[in-house]
Amino acid sequence: MIINEKSALDYAQMGADTIIRKFPASELPPKNRFHYHQGVFLSGVERTYILSGNRKYYNYIKDWMDYYIDDNGKIRFDENERQFDDMQPSIMLFNLYKETKDERYKKVLDDFSSIVDTWPTNARGGFWHKYIRPNQMWLDGLYMIGPYCVMYAHYFNKPYFHEKIFRQMNLMRCNMTDPKTGLLYHAWDDSKVIDWCDKTTGLSPEFWGRAIGWYAVAVMDILDYIPQNDPRRHEFISAAIDIINALTRFQDEESGLWFQVVDKGDTAGNWLETSCSCLYTYAIAKAVKKGLLHKSYAKYIHHSYKGIINSLKFMEEDLIISNICIGTGVGDYQFYINRPTAENDLHGMGAFLLMCTEYYDTCRMLNL
């Protein structure tokens, strides 16, 4: 599908180029931190490279990695504030190692596997979201560590990592899903002591858009590396179909986008949020491409893609994405709708690149 005479891949390249022109690889924010803000953007850049073949995107990713990884394969990693957020960019190291055979990249991946092996869990085996968030599981966490674990299992023959990630997904699905809407709450405290949680269920009060997006994207990306004969594969497929079917019921009919608090589009103060809309579009498109959903679901991705493209602004060569929620913790309705927004925040630009590349690939392969 062509909108404004540009393909989705054209828009992906425009978005990637906008950020690359502004930030040399070593300056990509947050500077001097190996972090998922850069990771989600670079994941989109990697997909743009794969589809376009333009080597400058590969070189930008490699330059960023090489800035953070020293000659001994050590990475700038804050040992005093361990969190999976600071491990997510490692998923780009698999392809870098495959192409270069640079042992520094393998060293980082091996070190991270040791960290995962010793990560603290709640009483049911669920990874703490951070060392400073004991017993809490946030949907965000599945995106931060899930794809890394299954890729590590695939590339280095460590199949037990499949079981680790299946447990995390299954705990989220079983304990964080709302039976009425099918949506997943942002967070869950198994110990039921944190101030934001329901003291009976341990659940946070709202369905925050981007958190559900992280979960949906993670499940779809994990499926790339779960073997066809793995008995847990059908559970990941079921989880993907369930969350996508829930999300489609809340797509805004007029704009094609989704709201910051997903189920409360008609509530005062709520607003359409770009990054979650891009992540949902990515997940739905990928599910259609994989044959998990009927081609009729393409109507949702066409509607959302068009809505996002129509919301873009342009300044000379730059593409500008707005209504991107900055990073956030867990809170109530007012907390989420009062969160600041930013233009071209990497959460949003990365999600935009993921959406554009997956939309392009899905439409191309299925002739949608």
**Catalytic residue set:** 140
Closest by CA to 77, choosing from 99, 109, 45, is 109
Sign of the C-alpha dihedral, residues 68, 73, 78, 81?
A: positive
- Per DSSP, the residues of 147-194 read HHHHHHHHHHT-THHHHHHHHHHHHHHHHHB-TTT--B-SEEETT--S
Going by the DSSP 8-state scheme, the letter that residue 80 receives in this structure is T
Q: Are 321 and 352 in contact (CB under 8 A)?
A: yes
Residue in the structure block whose two tokens are 């509530």: 267
Q: Which tokens is 215 given?
A: 């979960």
Q: Six-digit token pair at 246?
A: 């829930």
DSSP at 88: G
At residue 8, the 3 state secondary structure works out as helix
Nearest to 246 by CA among 187, 295, 180, 307: 180
The phi, psi pair for 179, rounded to 5°, reads -65, -20
341-342 and 324-325 as β-strands: parallel, antiparallel, unpaired?
antiparallel
Q: List Cβ neighbours of 57 (8 Å cut-off, separation of 6 or more).
A: 16, 45, 46, 48, 49
CB burial of 107-119 (b: ≥16 within 10 Å; e: otherwise) equals bbbeebbeebeee
